[in-house]
Amino acid sequence: MHKVLFSLLLALFMAFQCGATEIGHINSELQISKVLLVDDDDDGYDETDDCPNEFGNSSKDRIGCIDSDGDGYSDPSTNWNLSDGADAFPLQSVA
Ligand SMILES: [Ca+2]
Ligand SMILES: [Ca+2]
């Protein structure tokens, strides 16, 4: 009888350990994604930054990307062009 009880407790303990390890794993993944979302380029945007590796103050079409003329629309780049909403005249503010 004691043996059965012991096995049961051992099984419960193992299940608990697995659960705790899993939760710890998820927590550390959350920490890692939090670290990835910090404001690396110091432009004041973190989670909302569309250009996380580029200092910029665009705020209309994209957030936190280079905006040479300061009108809020980001300069066009490799993956972002006029049809996406980029600035048609990046060096000339129309505001
Ligand atoms: Ca940025
Ligand atoms: Ca602009």
The ligand that comes nearest to the alpha carbon of residue 60 is 2
Higher pLDDT, 3 or 66: 66
Confidence class of residue 1 from pLDDT cuts 50, 70 and 90? low
Residue 74 CA to residue 57 CA, distance in Å, equals 8
Taking the centre of ligand 2 as the mean of its atom positions, its distance from the CA of residue 83, in whole angstroms, is: 15
Phi, psi of 80 (to 5 degrees): -150, 110
What stretches of the chain adopt beta strand conformation (E)?
none
Per-residue confidence (pLDDT) for residue 35, from 0 to 100:
55
Q: Tens of pLDDT along 53-94? A: 999 999 999 999 999 999 999 999 999 999 999 999 999 986
Per-residue confidence (pLDDT) for residue 5, from 0 to 100:
79
What value, to the nearest 5°, has the Cα angle with vertex 9 and ends 4 and 13?
Answer: 150
Taking the centre of ligand 2 as the mean of its atom positions, its distance from the CA of residue 91, in whole angstroms, is: 7
Q: Tens of pLDDT along 10-58? A: 878 777 776 777 777 767 766 655 555 678 899 999 999 999 999 999 9
